[in-house]
Amino acid sequence: MDALDNAIDVQNLTVGYGSNVLLQNLDFSVKNGEIFVILGGSGCGKSSLLKNLFGLYQPLSGDVLIEGQNITTAQGADRQKIMTSFGVMYQQGALFGSMNLLDNVTLFMEEYTKLTRDQMNLLARCKLDLVGLLPYETYMPSEISGGMQKRAAIARAMALDPKILFLDEPSAGLDPITSADLDSTILDLSRNLGFTFVIVSHELASIYSIADKVIMLDKAAKGIIAEGDPKTLRDTSKDPRVHQFFNRIMSKDAA
Ligand SMILES: Nc1ncnc2c1ncn2[C@@H]1O[C@H](COP(=O)(O)OP(=O)(O)OP(=O)(O)O)[C@@H](O)[C@H]1O
């Protein structure tokens, strides 16, 4: 595959904290426009890997290339440019509670652009519209539902017009219907606007409905034990850990 097809290239990446190595020598790529989901049991390092991908934490070794630019070695203005080429939605959404939704979205524009207030508001309204929240621009985060807060956090992650969005457990804490609504928004943004998504998730229904590709991490193996389309993995993988993972989640989902 041509490297230009890839939004992200991960090369020989080792993730951990000091002497605590969680994941070793990972190699994988995320294609442009793909919805790529990171799976694995609790504590295997999914969130840590995500944070290494978007540069919040430095890997123990190895490289992460975002659109061909090495985020692990870039410094100064080069690093800043890479850091503004993607958006992040943290696990709790983390909207600023003292600002309405419009101001939550314009905040990063104020910091990183020279747009006028009117231009920022116009663009922020577009982002809110894309996630179905235009009528709620003056609402405070505490005045909207959990699902709406997640969508507002996605609108905020899109503030600087990134091509890549990193989402850490977007469905956490949502009921199945709200979670399915959020999945529709993610699919819509990917299929109609070409966003690349890298998502940490363990919600099986969500994974089946949105993931183009998954990687499954394993704590004992400290690495990737399966990768591919989730339904194909479920149906064809001969690895008992993969079966156990899908079945365990299925019975949890069904409960
Ligand atoms: N900032 C940190 N400093 C040191 N250790 C950390 C840090 N963040 C996470 N860890 C440790 O790394 C391990 C993996 O955590 P991580 O949150 O990446 O796993 P996870 O697969 O996302 O788990 P879960 O599904 O339960 O959220 C845990 O043992 C955790 O305590």
Question: Which residue from 38, 156, 143 is spatially nearest to 89, judged by alpha carbons?
Answer: 156
From atom 30 of ligand 1, which residue's Cα is the shortest distance away? 43
Q: Which amino acid is at 193?
A: L
- Closest ligand 1 atom, residue 44 Cα: 21
User: What is the whole-number distance in angstroms between the Cα of residue 60 and the centre of ligand 1?
Assistant: 15
Rounded to 5 degrees, φ, ψ at 193 are -115, -5
Distance from the CA of 23 to the center of ligand 1, in angstroms? 11
Q: Is the ipTM of this complex over 0.95?
A: yes
Q: Residue 31 is which amino acid?
A: K
For the CA of 48, the nearest atom of ligand 1: 18
**Topology annotation, domain 1-85+165-254:** Rossmann fold (3.40.50)
Which residue has the CA at smallest separation from atom 6 of ligand 1? Answer: 17
Cα distance between residue 127 and residue 123, in whole Å? 7
Q: Output the CA torsion sign for 68, 1, 27, 158.
A: positive
> Minimal CA–CA distance to 44: which of 247, 255, 241?
241
How far is Cα 38 from Cα 36, in angstroms, rounded to an integer? Answer: 7
Candidate from 14, 17, 202 with most ligand 1 atoms within 8 A of CB, to mutate: 17
Interval between CA 48 and ligand 1 midpoint (Å): 6
208 and 231 in contact (C-beta within 8 Å)?
A: yes
Per the CB < 8 A criterion, the answer to whether 166 and 87 are in contact is yes
CA of 64 to the centre of ligand 1 (A): 19
The ranges assigned to domains in the chain are: 1-85+165-254, 96-162
Helix locations, 212-239, DSSP H = 230-236
Per-residue pLDDT tens listing for the chain (255 residues): 455 689 999 999 999 999 999 999 999 999 999 999 999 988 999 999 999 999 999 999 999 999 999 999 999 999 988 998 999 998 776 789 999 999 999 998 998 899 999 999 999 999 999 999 999 999 999 999 999 999 999 999 999 999 999 999 998 888 989 999 999 999 999 999 999 999 999 888 889 999 999 999 999 999 999 999 999 998 888 899 898 887 765 544 443
CA of 123 to the centre of ligand 1 (A): 36
How far is Cα 61 from Cα 148, in angstroms, rounded to an integer?
38
Residue 1, both tokens: 């595959």
Q: Which token pair is 189?
A: 């943004």
